[in-house]
């Protein structure tokens, strides 16, 4: 009986060439579920993203395959981000 895939810290290169280390879990070929939100706001908690592995092991973000469904706060342009690794919530513009 195989063990379930566990989330792990993974380096990912986003659209603007910024690189972040995010807690992610592989859910399929080139598909990863985020277990925390990007500080840069590109991807959010529980989005499933498609990304390809580079020669150095960093993932290169291709697209959000399935959005998480996180919503903007009512009457605001701010998003609520959950960052479980640090156990805090932050609001961003």
Asked whether 49 and 10 are in contact (CB, 8 A), the reply is no
In a domain, 33, yes or no: yes
Tell me the average confidence (pLDDT) per consecutive run of 10 residues in the chain, 93 residues long.
75 85 94 88 88 95 90 54 48 46
- Determine, yes or no, domain membership for 59: yes
Q: Does residue 45 form part of some domain? A: yes
Q: Could you tell me which residues come within 8 angstroms of residue 38 by beta carbon, excluding any fewer than 6 positions away?
A: 14, 20, 22, 44
Total number of domains in the chain:
1
Q: Which residues contact 47 (CB under 8 A, 6 or more apart)?
A: 33, 34, 64, 66, 67, 68
- pLDDT of amino acid 92: 46
Residue 54 lies in a domain: yes
Q: Which domain holds residue 17?
A: 8-92
């Amino acid at each position: 009986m195989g063990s379930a895939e566990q989330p792990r810290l993974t380096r990912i290169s986003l659209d603007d060439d910024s690189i972040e280390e995010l807690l992610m879990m592989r859910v399929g070929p080139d598909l990863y579920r985020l277990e925390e939100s990007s500080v840069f706001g590109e991807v959010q908690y529980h989005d499933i993203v498609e990304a390809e592995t580079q020669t150095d092991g960093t993932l290169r973000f291709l697209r959000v395959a399935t959005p998480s469904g996180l919503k903007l706060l009512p009457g605001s342009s701010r998003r609520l981000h959950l960052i479980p690794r640090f156990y805090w919530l932050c609001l961003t513009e």
